[in-house]
Amino acid sequence: MLLVHDLLFSKSGIAAPSNHPLRLAVERHKARLQAELTRSRLRRSCATLEQLKTKLTSKGSVDFNIRNKIQWVRMNTTQTSLECQLNSTFRELSRAGDLSSLFHQQCDQGEFYVDECIPDLIAIPRSFDVTKSVAYSNGEVVLQDKASCFPSYLLLKSPIHRAVGKILDACAAPGNKTTHLAMLQDRRDIRSPGIIACERDKFRTKTLETMVKVAKADQFVTILGNTDFLSLKADDSSLANVTHLLLDPSCSGSGITGRDNIPSLALPHDSRSMGVGIRGSKKRKHGDNDETAEDKDVKSSISNDVLRLRKLSNLQTHVLTHAFSFPAANTIVYSTCSIHVVENEGVVSRALASNVARVGGWRVMRRDEQVPGLSSWTQRGQRSGDHDLKPWELEGCLRCNPDDGSGTIGFFTCAFVRDAEEASICSQRNDCSNFDEWEGLSDGSRN
């Protein structure tokens, strides 16, 4: 990216030796890159590059980089309150009427926006360094993207009534969602911590422990460090009262890369329609054999990405079906910071088609059962050939788009519930854990 920038905008050109492989690779496409830049400038009626820069950064323009202008801060109400922090840590900022005003404010202006979906969450300019504040050092405020607050809020605050026993955060590090759960849970007997935080990586476990301690959530949280969630036995007596599970397993992170301005591969929504990947390429027509080395590299890259997403999808589905097997579980939230259907709606569809889901009576939490701040969220599940979810099930899925002006990363959240009667029968018979063996994935549809 830096070399392309130098090629197009630097007066001295690319700052690399003339025979450097990367320089040669970029210069091979010099004509095409310059042509695309010219088209972009002319589409916006700009005579010069300077006019183009001014137009893209002026008020009222659509800025592809708006997410980098704000940051989300969650108040840790186990220690403080929104009002207290607005009158202390953020006293230099004035209240904005809407979020968009933060996208266009100048560096010498300072505003905050109180979110309408998630309680005790505000957006502030990225130029405001909250990490230097006493409140941040004391764990009174937490830097956490708005989308990342959806899972915990949906799990514990949706109006659909479900008895709450222990809460299991299955893939807990670095701890934002864990501490959010601690903040949201009802204040029960602190001698019996209500949250179990599981993390398999020893280094990330250290991060989790630090964050929980700083947030003063250690009185509510029991950490299972260096422990893989998939290694937990659902019928273990210590987990018998786990009723709520939060799952945020490893994913491609494709929803975050946009924030870092790193180009990401735009995979088709239905990976089965691709000419590469698991099922191989389509045969070329006669005479269609003028494939360049660059074309082959692109196809190889796409094929590798498809295979990686399929492997991640397998793991994610395994995690979700394992959660379905916990006998006393009645509410589960699954989330990823991915924008790919195969990791999101595709996983939901496959997991619901599993034996453990059918026997346990699991279903998607309907939109009208969700907490008001999230039931009104407009971005819902995406239709695709990679799944067979029904319209009402897609309505139960929440998506965040990194480029729609909401100031979030790309994110996906879906909650699952089962009727109290089904959960009670499964808990008493302890049948659900019998279906925990991984059966793999099939392309078969659900009835």
**Where do we find the tokens 């949250």?**
195
Of 77-86, 277-286, 412-421, the one with minimum mean pLDDT is 277-286
pLDDT band at 256 (very low <50, low <70, confident <90, very high): confident
The predicted structure's pLDDT at residue 139: 96
Average pLDDT over residues 149-164: 90
- Which tokens sit at 245? 């599970």
Q: Is 13 left (phi over 0), alpha (psi -120 to 50) or beta?
A: left
Q: Which helix (H) or strand (E) holds 263?
A: none
Average pLDDT over residues 225-249: 96
Torsion sign, CA atoms 168, 170, 173, 176 = negative
With a cut of 50, say whether residue 281 has pLDDT above it: no
CA distance 54 to 49: 9
With a cut of 80, say whether residue 433 has pLDDT above it: no
pLDDT tens-digit profile of 23-50? Answer: 888 888 888 788 778 767 655 556 677 7
Q: Integer distance in angstroms from the first to the last C-alpha of the chain?
A: 48
In whole angstroms, how far apart are CA 171 and each of 75, 149, 343? Answer: 22, 15, 16
- Which tokens sit at 278? 């698991």
* Non-local CB neighbours of 355 within 8 Å, separated by 6+ positions: 435, 439
Q: Is 370 exposed, middle or buried (CB count within 10 Å of its CB: 0-12, 13-18, 19+)?
A: buried
Of 61-75, 333-347, 359-373, 387-401, the one with minimum mean pLDDT is 61-75
Query: Which DSSP letter does residue 446 get?
Result: P
pLDDT tens-digit profile of 95-143? Answer: 999 998 887 765 446 899 999 999 999 999 998 999 999 999 999 999 9
425-439 in b/e burial notation, b at 16+ Cβ within 10 A? Answer: bbbeeebbbebbeee
Chain center to CA of 419: 27
Torsion sign, CA atoms 49, 54, 60, 66 = positive
SS3 label, residue 363: strand
CA distance 180 to 43: 45
- Cite the beta strand spans of 340-436 per DSSP E: 363-364, 397-400, 411-417
**Where do we find the tokens 């591969």?**
265
With a cut of 70, say whether residue 430 has pLDDT above it: no
Total number of residues shown for the chain: 447
Phi, psi of 216 (to 5 degrees): 60, 35
pLDDT band at 416 (very low <50, low <70, confident <90, very high): very high
Average pLDDT over residues 78-100: 95
CA distance 199 to 226: 6
Q: Is 261 left (phi over 0), alpha (psi -120 to 50) or beta?
A: left
